[in-house]
């Protein structure tokens, strides 16, 4: 085999720069860093655990992150959408409109200051780019008939916690599994381009699934088959559904009415890889066919009976894996930033079921 010498590599790089061609770089961390993942903690976790798969975070994930941040040419990417009163709104929470207040002064000083207020009943933690706490979702023993009053008395949460442990009264905050229990999520993110590989170059459709087989195929197509998914990774999936996110929002926008999402076998596969969070550029993580939210269409194929939001159920209530919803991934996908160091820092609102987040990723574009 003919060896490539350093001068030849340097000449090729210089030629690429001269012609304006983007240089490519490996998406895969050195073997020494990947091998550290074998020492990562694994479930089952101790009784009373409230961190879920975030227990995997540690030296291995920190060192992988550090490698990405120190690569020459690394860039910072915003993975959230700007928030405004006119952005698309979730139908599951009040619109959370903010009201600018008049510029005010400080008595006996030369200061002036500005601030905002939220409308009564606002739920900003469940709008826009946000993260779900493990206590956001639970399951009851059987489907609820809305002809009868809803009872959460037998609700079961992640880690075997019961309703009495988590939310003993209607006006109680989450006493267990609240957003403040999430540690800083600073770890490697693997971006999978489902728009390219599942949607065949077009945005995925409503109810369309990203399956375990699709994940394997995308890892291979993006040069990540050897690396795979490592314990402690976040997995971000670009479906293209975010092309429907417009601000100001179109009243007839399909964005929050339906969406593509993960299949149940993909959720179980990702749990087996010990990822700490799953994020999509879509509102639900679950696949939602057109008409499902209105009771006019069944859930996507493979959804567990009685659990139309099966991905919420498995990821949050069973596996302890956090959800990142409404991610903004188009720029990273366009630049082929398949691996990066990502940072997601939820606010520490004690007892809250969700939080507004501003995920950022630092990685090198044009990865192969």
d(CA 346, CA 181): 10
Mean pLDDT throughout 345-355? 96
Closest CA to 283 of 303, 314, 253: 253
Give the separation between CA 1 and CA 4, rounded to whole angstroms. Answer: 9
Cα–Cα distances in angstroms (integers) from residue 15 to residues 247, 257, 272, 367, 368, in the given order: 42, 49, 44, 19, 19
* Amino acid 3: pLDDT: 44
Domains delineated in the chain? 31-85+124-363 (3.50.30.50)
Q: How far apart are CA 246 and CA 348, in angstroms?
A: 29
Q: What is the mean pLDDT of the chain?
A: 92
Cα 245 to the chain's mean position, in Å?
Answer: 16
The tokens 């790089």 sit on which residue?
13
**Residue 24, pLDDT score:** 65
Q: What is the pLDDT of residue 155?
A: 98
Asked if residue 172 lies in contact with residue 209, where contact means CB atoms within 8 angstroms, the answer is no
For 362, the token pair is 């630092």
Give all strands (DSSP E) within 206-344, no chain letters.
Answer: 209-210, 234-238, 261-262, 277-280, 322-325, 339-344
Question: What separation in angstroms does the CA of 44 have from each of 35, 49, 136?
Answer: 22, 10, 21
How many Å apart are CA 50 and CA 54, to the nearest integer? 9
- Report the distance separating Cα 167 and Cα 303, nearest Å: 27
pLDDT at res. 7: 41
Query: For the residues 197-202, what does the mean pLDDT come to?
Result: 98
Per-residue model confidence (pLDDT) at position 5: 38
Percent of the chain topping pLDDT 90: 86
CA pair distance 125, 104, nearest whole angstrom: 27
Question: How many Å apart are CA 234 and CA 285, to the nearest integer?
Answer: 14
Beta strand pairing status for 234-238 and 185-193?
parallel
Which 8-state DSSP code applies to residue 367?
B
- The per-residue pLDDT for range 90-108, each reduced to its tens digit, is 888 777 678 899 999 999 9
Q: Say whether pLDDT at 276 is over 70.
A: yes
Q: What is the pLDDT of residue 118?
A: 85
Q: Tell me, what DSSP letter sits at residue 62?
A: H
The pLDDT of residue 120 is: 79
The rounded distance, in Å, linking the Cα atoms of 27 and 227 is 9
pLDDT of 364 strictly over 50: yes
Predicted confidence band of residue 23 (pLDDT cuts 50, 70, 90)? low
Neighbours of 152 (CB within 10 A): 13
CB-count exposure of residue 202 (10 Å: 0-12, 13-18, 19+) = exposed
DSSP β-bridge partners for residue 25: 367
pLDDT digits (tens, 9 = 90+) for 41-74: 999 999 999 999 999 999 999 999 999 999 999 9
Cα–Cα distance list, 221 to 72, 190, 196, 226, 227 (Å): 24, 13, 10, 11, 12
Answer whether 40's CB lies under 8 Å from 288's CB.
Answer: no
The pLDDT tens digits of the residues spanning 162-186 come to 999 999 999 999 999 999 999 999 9
**pLDDT at residue 97 in the model:** 78
pLDDT of residue 1: 41
Q: DSSP 3-state assignment of 248?
A: coil
* Rounded CA separation 180/21 (Å): 45
Higher pLDDT, 159 or 4: 159
Residues 6+ apart with CB under 8 A from 109: none
- Give the whole-number percent of the chain exceeding pLDDT 70: 93
pLDDT band at 133 (very low <50, low <70, confident <90, very high): very high
Neighbour-count burial for 326-348, b at 16+ CB within 10 Å, e otherwise:
bbbbbebbebbbbbbbbbbbbee
Q: Which two tokens stand for residue 194?
A: 């489902």
Cα torsion angle, 177, 170, 286, 245, sign? negative
DSSP structural state of residue 4: P
């Amino acid at each position: 085999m003919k060896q490539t010498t350093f001068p030849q590599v340097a000449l090729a790089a210089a030629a690429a720069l001269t012609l304006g061609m983007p240089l490519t770089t490996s998406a895969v961390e050195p073997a020494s860093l990947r091998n550290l993942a074998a020492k990562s903690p694994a479930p089952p976790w101790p009784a009373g655990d409230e961190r879920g798969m975030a227990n995997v975070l540690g030296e291995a994930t920190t060192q992988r992150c550090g490698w990405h941040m120190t690569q020459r040419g690394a860039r910072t990417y915003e993975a959230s959408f700007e928030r405004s009163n006119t952005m698309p709104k979730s139908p599951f929470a009040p619109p959370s409109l903010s009201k600018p207040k008049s510029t005010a002064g400080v008595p006996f000083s030369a200061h002036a200051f500005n601030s905002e207020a939220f409308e009564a009943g606002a739920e900003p933690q469940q709008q826009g780019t946000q993260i779900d706490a493990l206590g956001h979702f639970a399951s009851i023993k059987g489907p609820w008939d809305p002809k009868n009053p809803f009872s959460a008395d037998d609700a079961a949460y992640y880690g075997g916690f019961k309703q009495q442990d988590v939310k003993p009264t209607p006006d109680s905050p989450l006493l267990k599994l609240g957003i403040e229990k999430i540690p800083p999520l600073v770890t490697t993110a693997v971006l999978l381009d489902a728009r390219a590989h599942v949607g065949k170059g077009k945005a995925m459709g409503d109810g369309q699934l990203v399956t375990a087989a699709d994940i394997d195929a995308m890892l291979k197509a993006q040069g990540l088959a050897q690396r795979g998914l490592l314990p402690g990774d976040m997995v971000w999936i670009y479906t293209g559904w975010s092309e429907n996110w417009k601000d100001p929002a179109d009243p007839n926008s399909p964005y929050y009415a339906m969406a593509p999402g993960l299949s149940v076998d993909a959720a179980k596969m990702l749990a087996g890889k010990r990822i700490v969070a799953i994020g999509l550029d879509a509102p639900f993580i679950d696949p939602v066919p057109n008409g499902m939210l209105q009771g006019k269409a069944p859930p996507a194929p493979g959804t567990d009976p009685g659990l139309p939001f099966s991905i919420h159920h498995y990821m949050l209530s069973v596996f302890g894996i956090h959800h990142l919803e409404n991610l903004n991934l188009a720029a990273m996908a366009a630049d082929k930033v398949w691996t990066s160091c990502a940072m997601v820092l939820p606010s520490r609102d004690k007892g809250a079921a969700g939080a507004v987040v501003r995920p950022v990723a630092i990685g090198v574009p044009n990865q192969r």
